[in-house]
A and B are shown apart, each in its own frame.
Chain A
């Protein structure tokens, strides 16, 4: 691995971890602080199984993402493209990776 490639990887990692912090903050707002204390929101946290995020809460999350990232991140397109089984297993990490990709392209 060349040093430029290494810088890129480190840069990606830093960008992703910044996005994770942002998403985690939003999720705490959506599910409520006292409940969030009991869950460690990480890349492999499942929206359905671990957070029990309900569809109306996805709508709230979508609004928060729009507010923060503007048109850079299209959450509706991200979710709208998913099959049933994919949504059932969706993790915070998949959303974070998607957002990081949108931000990097922007």
Chain B
């Protein structure tokens, strides 16, 4: 039996796939543990699982300030911030914590989220086998056809990070920290990503790793009316306070549809001014359970929410905000599973039309069901665990 350490960044969506995979590996008799930020990872990990702190106490201030500074950024400004002001500094901040966890736990293998670069650095430094957990598929495609210098800019920063952390040059030459030379787990399928993806040969498409999730918050299930269609609206955990305009547009868009839809919105308190009886607003919703009762999803194009929706065969309306979301939104459009609207500009009438088309035109649902089968065939968490075990 082996000792497998998961290295995760302080981003809920990046922790979740590893929780499912870790639990599956634990059931197969391996010792598993996580190294991450307690304030984010604690509520996502079942209490019996071990979590090593990625940073010394007090890191919350840096994280809060960084999130604060990133609020409202979009497009290339958000892209620049993500790498230069968040992921690269985060690697430096986490490196001591990850190293300590590797020694204390006695890890034989690291499973490193693609954005937790400290894990890749420590694996290279100690020549430990490691696996990339690619939470989103954006890095597997080339989104920079119009701005080729963006890709070069990221690569240059990652090269510099390896040099600065004293990775021996022959180890650094093994390549980009975003891609393990041993195995890259992509929680999607080629049917959804599209065939123009430039995928490294060590990449396997396993589909979403949903496994057994700790759901937070119960729901008023009795409120759901079986004679009406349910639409789930979820705009992610990062830009919660920044979604006010869009969410109020959603409420206005669905206002005249009380006779045929009910809408659950996951939103931070205070963002939505007034909502009618057929719209429920909650800070947290049990998303995986609620999806089983839904007919469509409106979201920001976050990879997890999109794939969880498709795993339930549900069509989508996506309003990408930043980072990988525009890329995932294009995958939604190209695969025919939904419609894309402009987060900052969409008006109620256009949004209503988009929601009604994915509900009423059977093509969207049929395409979503095709992706759903591709996910089921890929095997998800179980297949991911099989691939991990091959490296042990």
- Residue numbers of A with Cβ under 8 A of B are 31-32, 34-35, 48-49, 52-56, 58-59, 62, 76, 79-85, 87-88
- Shortest Cβ distance from residue A38 to the other chain B in the assembled complex, whole angstroms: 9
Quick check: B345 and A84 within 8 Å, CB to CB?
A: no
Determine if B330 and A56 form an interchain contact, defined as CB atoms under 8 angstroms apart.
yes
Taking CB atoms, residues of chain A closer than 8 Å to B320 are 54
CB <8 Å contact, B147 and A80: yes
Contact call B146/A48, Cβ cutoff below 8 A: no
Known: A31-B345, A55-B326, A85-B80. Is A48-B75 also a contact (CB below 8 A)? yes
Instruction: Given contact pairs A55-B143, A55-B146, enumerate 11 new A-B contacts (beta carbons under 8 Å).
Output: A32-B345, A35-B345, A52-B343, A53-B75, A54-B320, A55-B75, A79-B146, A83-B149, A84-B153, A85-B80, A88-B77
Is there a chain A Cβ closer than 8 Å to B76's Cβ?
Answer: yes
B125 within 8 A of A: no
* B74 at interface by CB-CB < 8 Å: yes
Complex Cα spacing A81 to B149, Å: 7
Give Cα distance in the complex from A55 to B153, angstroms.
18
List residues of B (66-93) whose CB comes within 8 Å of A's CBs: 74-77, 79-80
Q: Which residues of B contact A (CB under 8 A)?
A: 74-77, 79-80, 143, 146-150, 153, 320, 326, 330, 342-345, 347
When the two chains form the complex, which single residue of B75, B330, B344 contacts A88, counting CB atoms closer than 8 Å?
Answer: B75
A79-B146, A83-B149, A84-B153 known; A52-B326 Cβ under 8 A: no
Assess whether B149 is in contact with A84, with CB atoms less than 8 Å apart. yes
A80 CA to B151 CA in the complex, in Å? 11
Identity of the chain B residue whose Cβ is nearest the Cβ of A36 in the assembled complex: B345
For A31, the chain B residues whose CB sits under 8 A away are 345
- The minimal Cβ–Cβ distance linking B146 to chain A, given in whole angstroms, is 6
Bound Cα distance from A22 to B345, whole angstroms:
22
> Is the CB–CB distance between B146 and A76 below 8 Å?
yes
What residues of A have a CB within 8 angstroms of the CB of B77 in the complex? 48-49, 88
Q: How long is the Cα–Cα vector from A81 to B152 in the complex, in angstroms?
A: 12
**A66 CA to B342 CA in the complex, in Å?**
24
Least distance between B232 CB and chain A CB atoms (Å)? 24
29 contacts between A and B (CB under 8 A): A31-B345, A35-B345, A35-B347, A48-B74, A48-B77, A49-B77, A52-B75, A52-B342, A52-B343, A52-B344, A53-B75, A54-B75, A54-B326, A55-B75, A55-B143, A55-B146, A56-B326, A58-B146, A79-B146, A79-B147, A80-B148, A80-B149, A82-B149, A83-B149, A84-B76, A84-B79, A84-B149, A84-B150, A85-B80
Q: Which of A55, A56, A62, A85 has the most C-beta atoms of chain B within 10 angstroms of its own C-beta?
A: A55
For residue B153, which residues in chain A have a CB less than 8 angstroms away from its CB?
83-84
User: What CA separation (Å) do A62 and B147 show in the bound complex?
Assistant: 13
Nearest Cβ on chain B to A12's Cβ, whole angstroms: 28
Question: How far, in whole Å, are A74 and B178 apart by their CA atoms in the complex?
Answer: 33
> What's the minimum C-beta distance from A87 to chain B, rounded to whole angstroms?
4
What residues on B are CB-neighbors of A49 within 8 Å?
77
B343 partner residues in chain A, CB cutoff 8 A = 52
Q: Which residues of B contact A85 (CB under 8 A)?
A: 80
Task: Flag if B76 contacts A88 (CB, 8 Å).
Answer: yes
**Closest Cβ–Cβ distance, residue B344 to chain A (whole Å):** 4
Given A32-B345, A52-B342, A56-B326, also A88-B80 (CB < 8 A): yes
Contact A52 B345 (CB under 8 A): yes
Cα(A79)–Cα(B153), bound, Å: 15
* Chain B residues within an 8 Å CB radius of A87: 76, 147, 150
**Bound: A34/B76 CA distance, A:** 25
Please name the residue on chain B nearest to A59 by beta carbon: B146
The answer to whether A34 and B74 have CB atoms under 8 Å apart is no
